[in-house]
Amino acid sequence: MADPFAGSGAAIDRVRVHRVAAFRRRGPALLLASAWLAFAPFVRAENGDAEARRERAAEHFRTLCTTCHGPTGQPDPDSAVVEALGVVPANLADPLFNSREPKRDWMLVIRDGGSALGLSDRMPAFGGQLDEREIQDLVLYLKTLSGEHGYPSGDLNFFLPLRTRKAFPEDEWVWKLRFTDQDERPQWRNTLEFEKRIGRRFQSVLELTHRVDDGDGSFEKFEAGGKYVLFSDADAGFIATAGATVGFPLEDERSVRRDTEILPFLAFGKWLGPSFTVQASTRAKLPVDRVRRGSVELSGIVHWVHTPWPRAIFPGLELFAEIPFDHGAGAARVDFAQVSILPQVRVGLSKRGHVALNLGVELPLNERDRYDSRAYLDLIWDFADGPFWAGW
């Protein structure tokens, strides 16, 4: 496991003077070796400081946390202290729980207490005893209690966009409402989506979509599939995922022909400094019987994460393009890509942010006869973080 307390310099244990002598007649090499000798004390000081910070964080854990959370981070539900609390403290040694929680949330809870994020008021605030650096170091120490594991870090759990595929695996219910304003035929589409994590890196997904065209409603399709985290690096702030769903058309009373579709995708996410995130994805829509009618979707979004508090409004700007395989011919020929822009906001409803709204509009940038605009409303419930009604 990488040392979370270490700085960017590598450890230098010793430098042998006789090796420098071997380079005396090599000019630039001598200068390089001299610089190395000069820099070594600073690297040792940095490593010493990291070790001191680690020891202080471990001591803070022993004095402030172990009474409730246990000496290893795993609380004993049968202990007199836990029974007196009336609630079992979080198991900090559990890899799934430990990994899925972003560090910024733990820093808020340690500083301001559990009630600040709608959690138990039995979790006290330590902001009066620890400064920001000490809280940060304590959180880094707590993150080591689960040991080595293959779970992606919750620091890479970026906000759900309207059209871009999300890379991080979730335990969520999402209700998606879309209204399309088009000439004489307004359309409403409702999608209910269920996401469930399986193992360290896999997530399954089920979707059911109902559509209403000009007052006539029908269930449009059912999708099933999953995604797998290919790579994640919390230090680099990057995650990459591959996945696929299969869309099965449902009976339509108007006898509109719909094909079974295979929808493979790749999704990415990245921190851009401390306050911005970028996500991007590409997805193919492959009708089984009429592949030429398929297309490729490209999308990306930037969110401004201006505060660590989950209950806030976070603006985002998304760009979406769909490239059809068959562009047609003559008067029926379409542009190379149908492009649209989607300004949107993420609105945290509960204190812990596990219930949120995603609101936005989609405006076509070309081929504007497709539709005038689309309005979106997503209601998101991350049930791994508690019941829908908790933490308000």
Strand-pairing partners, residue 188, are 179, 212
What tokens does 241 get? 């995922």
- pLDDT for the residue numbered 169: 96
3-state helix, strand, coil in the chain (%, to 5): 25, 35, 40
Q: What are phi and psi of 287, to 5 degrees?
A: -60, 130
User: Which residue from 171, 153, 170 is spatially nearest to 98, judged by alpha carbons?
Assistant: 153
* CA dist., res. 120 & res. 86, Å (int): 10
- pLDDT for the residue numbered 80: 87
- pLDDT for the residue numbered 24: 44
152-155: which pairs have CB atoms within 8 A and are 24 or more residues apart?
152/99, 152/201, 152/229, 152/232, 152/234, 152/239, 153/99, 153/102, 153/232, 153/234, 154/99, 154/100, 154/101, 154/102, 154/103, 154/105, 155/102, 155/103, 155/104, 155/234, 155/237, 155/271
- Give me the amino acid identity at 382: D
Q: How far is CA 165 from the centre of its chain?
A: 11
* CA dist., res. 93 & res. 89, Å (int): 12
Residue pair 284/244 in contact by the 8 Å Cβ criterion: no
CATH architecture of 1-149: Orthogonal Bundle (1.10)
Tens digit of pLDDT for each residue in 227-251?
A: 999 999 999 999 999 999 999 998 7
- pLDDT for the residue numbered 30: 54
Fold matches, 1-149 and 154-385: no
For residue 70, give every residue at least 6 positions away whose Cβ sits within 8 Å of its Cβ, in sequence order, or none. Answer: 76
Boundaries of every domain in the chain: 1-149, 154-385
| Global pTM value | 0.83
Strand-pairing partners, residue 304, are 276
Residues of the chain whose pLDDT is less than 50? 8-25, 43, 255
Q: What are phi and psi of 246, to 5 degrees?
A: -120, 125
Which fold is adopted by the domain 154-385?
Answer: Porin (2.40.160)
Residue pair 365/340 in contact by the 8 Å Cβ criterion: yes
- pLDDT for the residue numbered 257: 61
Residue pair 336/322 in contact by the 8 Å Cβ criterion: no
- pLDDT for the residue numbered 173: 98
What tokens does 117 get? 């994020």
For residue 38, give every residue at least 6 positions away whose Cβ sits within 8 Å of its Cβ, in sequence order, or none. Answer: none
